[in-house]
């Protein structure tokens, strides 16, 4: 029977904001962000543990003291543009659940393209404080989640 990992809401191990990681594989092996491809590690029941901002979604917006994170789905992998409306899949449900619970979410951000030795930086713990379902830059509906530092 497979071992089910219990979600961790907060720091994992000794990792702290500013730490650099080589790859998604390293993040997964260390339990920082378990999915190798998806940008959201979440369950609809418990919420989001971690997310990655990797310049994959055109509707992400990074600011100094907050950011908007485009939900999961509807994106063309080659262009990064939305090609359909996003649905309320379990990853988007997990982000919405995090809004309800107020639990912290680990945030990672791509800071260098491959083959850089260190591609991802840990931005620390953030909290989902708002959610909207709006037309994005390509005209398709996207879920957007506003994050602010977790206090």
- Is residue 61 in a domain? yes
User: Cα angle at 85 between 79 and 90, to 5 degrees?
Assistant: 100
CATH number of the domain encompassing residue 115: 2.30.280.10
Does the structure show a pLDDT above 70 at 6?
yes
Does the structure show a pLDDT above 60 at 3?
no
- Is residue 133 in a domain? yes
For 46, list phi and psi in degrees, rounded to 5: -110, -20
- Is residue 9 in a domain? no
Peptide bond into 115 cis (omega under 30): yes
- Is residue 22 in a domain? no
* 73-85 confidence digits (pLDDT tens): 999 878 878 999 9
Does the structure show a pLDDT above 80 at 41?
yes
Chain centroid to CA 25: 16
Domain membership of residue 97 as a residue range: 28-149
User: Cα angle at 63 between 58 and 65, to 5 degrees?
Assistant: 145
- Is residue 54 in a domain? yes
- pLDDT for 113 equals 77
Domain count, the chain: 1
* 99-130 confidence digits (pLDDT tens): 999 999 999 999 987 777 889 999 999 999 99
Give this prediction's pTM: 0.92
- pLDDT for 80 equals 76
- Is residue 120 in a domain? yes
Give me the percent of the chain exceeding a pLDDT of 90. 82
- Is residue 7 in a domain? no
- Is residue 12 in a domain? no
């Amino acid at each position: 029977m497979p071992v089910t990992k219990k979600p961790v809401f907060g720091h994992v191990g000794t990792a702290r904001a500013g730490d650099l990681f080589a790859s998604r594989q390293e993040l997964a092996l260390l339990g920082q962000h378990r999915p190798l491809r998806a940008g959201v590690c979440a369950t609809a029941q418990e919420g989001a543990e971690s997310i990655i901002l990797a310049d994959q979604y055109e509707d992400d917006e990074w600011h100094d003291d907050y950011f908007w994170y485009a939900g999961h789905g509807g994106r063309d992998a080659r262009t990064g543009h939305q090609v359909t409306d996003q649905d309320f899949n379990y990853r988007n449900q997990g982000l919405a659940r995090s809004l309800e619970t107020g639990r912290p979410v680990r945030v990672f951000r791509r800071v260098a393209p491959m083959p850089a030795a260190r591609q991802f930086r840990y931005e620390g713990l953030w909290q989902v404080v708002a959610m909207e379902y709006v037309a994005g830059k390509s005209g398709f509906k996207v879920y957007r989640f506003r994050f602010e530092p977790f206090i």
